Amino acid sequence: MPLGPSTPEAVLTIPSLPEPGAVRSIAVLGSVAILSWLVSLALIHRSGSRRETLWGLAILALAGLTMGAGRLDLTLHGLAQVWTVAVAARNVAAFRGAPRWLTLVGVMAWLASAVIAMRHFG
């Protein structure tokens, strides 16, 4: 029998947010940070600065490391968190215009999620 819109196998399931609480706040704020950094990266890349594009990529790589390390090693997680914020702060100082403001929004969201995580998870 072919799949059609009325068969259960054809239903697309979209992931939902976690239940309201700290984990949901961390997920939303982390997503805002990453999205802000991605848009900032795209704008920097369009400007043609290879060096600044690499710095923009560094934030995303460190953010990925931070998230992955949170499940594996708390020491590495903490160090990656500090490096993510440090590189992002460097980019706020170095970038101009919209990329600067987008990076700043990302830093603020990332820091807010870190504060919530520290308060909730110790």
Residue pLDDT, tens place only, 15-56: 676 778 888 999 999 999 999 999 999 999 999 889 999 999
CB 70 within 8 A of CB 77: yes
Q: How far apart are CA 43 and CA 20, in angstroms?
A: 33
High-pLDDT (> 90) share of the chain, %: 69
Residue type, 122: G
The mean predicted confidence, pLDDT, of the chain is: 89
* pLDDT, position 48: 87
* pLDDT, position 9: 59
Q: Which residue has the tokens 């160090």?
A: 79
For the chain, the first-to-last Cα distance in angstroms comes to 53
* pLDDT, position 62: 96
Cβ neighbours around 110 below 10 Å, total: 24
**Backbone angles phi and psi of 19, in degrees to 5:** -55, 150
